[in-house]
Structure 1
Amino acid sequence: MKVEEYQSSGTVHVPMTCTVREAAKQMRDQHVGALIVTENGPPSSRVVGIVTDRDIVVKAVIERLAPDDLLVADIMQTHVLSIDRSADIGDALQTMASHGVRRLAVTNAEGALVGMLSLDDLLGALARDWALLSSIVRSELTRERTGSVQSMLPAA
C-alpha cells in the first residue's frame, strides 16, 4: 500500500501573516486539522511551516492569547515532516510514530507538495478494508451454514 493511495489531494494554504482566528475558520470551513503555512499565501509560495488545530489550542487558547492579534507565524511548527507519495504506508506510520505527529506533507519525486496524509486518512481506509474483509467472511460463513457452498473446481 502506497501513500498516494490514501493521501488527501491538495492542501489548504494560509500565509504566515494570517491571524489564528482566520486559520481556525479555514480549518472549520475546509474540514481539515492542519494548514500549510506559506511565505505569501498562494500555493506557489515557499512553505515555511504547518499549523494544526492542536497548535491553536495548546499555544493560543490555553495561554488566553487573542486569536485576532496572534499570527499563524507565532504558533506554527517550522519543521514540516514529509514523505514521498510513492512510499509505503508502513514507512509513513513509522515516521508518524517516531516523531509523534498525526500528519505528514506528501511530496512528489521533485519534492513539490502534492497533498497531506493524516492518521485519520489511514484509519478511514483501514476501516473500509476491514469492513470489506468482514463482509467476505460473513458471506462465506452464511454460505457454509446454508449448504450453498459451491466448488470453484470445474465439473468433471
Structure 2
Amino acid sequence: MRIDEVCTREPVHIPLGCTLQEAAVQMRDQHVGSLIVTEATPSGTRVVGVMTDRDIVLGSTAAGADPCRNSVADVMTRGLVTVDRNNSVAEAMQLMLSHGVRRLGVLDGEAIVGVVSMDDILGAMAAEWGMLSTIVRNEQERERSGHTQSPLRV
C-alpha cells in the first residue's frame, strides 16, 4: 500500500506568527489535528514546521500560557519529517518510528501535497485486516457446509 492511497490531501497551513487560539480555531474549523506552519520569505512561502493539537495542550495550556498572546512559533515543532507520496506505508511507519513522530508531510517532488498520520495508517490497515478476516470467515463457513474447495480455481 502506498502513502498516496492513505494520506490526507491538501494539508491545512497556518502562518508562523498566528496565535495559539487562531491555530486551535483553524484545527476545529478544518477538523484536523495538525497544521503545517509556514513563513513568508522574500522568495515565497516556506514550510518551517508542524503544530499539533497536542503541542497546544502540552506546550502552552498545561504550562499556563495565554493562547491569545502566545504564538504558534512558541510551541510548534520546528522542521517536518516527510515521506514521498509513492513510498510504502511500511517506509512511512519506519520514518515515524525512527523520528518519534505520529505525522509526516507527504511530498510530490518538493511540494507538500498531504499529511499522513498514524491514524490514517491504522485505518487503512484495519480495512485490509477486515477483508482478510472476512475471507477466512467465508472459507470456514464453506468448510462447515461441506464445500471444501473454492468454487473458482485459479
Provide the TM-score with structure 2 as the length reference.
Answer: 0.91
AA of the residue aligned to 2:52: T
* CA-CA distance at 1:105 after TM superposition: 0.2
AA of the residue aligned to 1:88: S
Distance 1:85 1:152 in 2: 36
CA RMSD of aligned residues (A): 1.6
| 1:129 correspondence with 2:128 | yes
Could you list the structure 1 runs, at least 4 aligned residues long, displaced by more than 2 angstroms after superposition: 148-154
Distance 2:127 2:73 in 1: 37
| Unpaired segments ≥5 residues, structure 1 | none
* CA-CA distance at 1:153 after TM superposition: 4.6
Distance 2:92 2:152 in 1: 39
- Note the 1:1-150 alignment, pairs <5 A: 1-40=1-40, 45-109=45-109, 111-150=110-149
Aligned with 1:39: secondary structure? strand
Aligned with 2:45: secondary structure? coil
Distance 1:90 1:48 in 2: 26
Aligned length: 150
Aligned with 1:45: secondary structure? strand
Aligned with 2:78: secondary structure? coil
* CA-CA distance at 1:90 after TM superposition: 1.3
Provide the TM-score with structure 1 as the length reference.
Answer: 0.89
Distance 1:79 1:153 in 2: 52
- Structure 1 residues 153 and 7 mapped into 2: Cα distance closer, same or farther (>3 Å)? closer
| Unpaired segments ≥5 residues, structure 2 | none
